């Protein structure tokens, strides 16, 4: 039987406490495989609040607001990576961009040298799943590598 070796692990993160609850498991896998962690954060400026705000502003101002939000997302991701690096972990961050969350992650993971993806899931069912969808389900269907899902409930 062939031994599996994970060299690069991707972890999608919303940079929230919930999405990072899987981190202790990721760190264990990283240590045992001497793997690199790639934190994936998707920047999606098309939130209803932003659209309401920028609709009445000139295009130059809209672009400025979106660029500032993008830079803030990059800084948050960099700060998080630096925090993990201070603990001795091999980590890099990738700021992805798209109108949805799933597709940029799918494209990145399927197009790169990622061996494993690990993420927290809310485990939504019923009406909330129908209303909000399931990122985990979409990734399970469209990503071509093993995925470890963790539901902290």
Domains and CATH numbers, the chain: 8-150 (3.40.50.620)
Confidence (pTM)? 0.83
- Average pLDDT of span 85-99: 93
CA gap 7, 36 in Å, rounded:
6
- Is pLDDT of 53 > 90? no
More confident residue, 53 or 121: 121
For residue 125, pLDDT beyond 70: no
Q: How far apart are CA 133 and CA 136, in angstroms?
A: 9
């Amino acid at each position: 039987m062939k031994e599996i070796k994970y060299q690069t692990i991707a972890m999608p993160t919303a940079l929230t406490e919930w999405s990072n609850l899987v981190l202790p498991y990721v760190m264990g896998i990283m240590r045992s495989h001497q793997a690199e962690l790639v934190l994936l954060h998707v920047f999606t400026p098309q939130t209803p609040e932003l659209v309401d705000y920028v609709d009445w502003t000139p295009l130059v101002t809209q672009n400025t607001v979106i660029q500032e939000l993008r830079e803030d997302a990059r800084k948050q991701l960099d700060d998080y990576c630096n925090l993990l690096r201070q603990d001795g972990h091999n980590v890099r961050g990738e700021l992805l961009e798209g109108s949805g969350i799933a597709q940029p992650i799918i494209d990145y993971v399927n197009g790169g040298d990622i061996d494993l993806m690990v993420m927290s899931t809310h485990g939504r069912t019923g009406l909330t799943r129908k209303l909000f969808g399931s990122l985990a389900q979409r990734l399970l269907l469209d990503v071509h590598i093993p995925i470890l899902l963790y539901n902290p409930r």
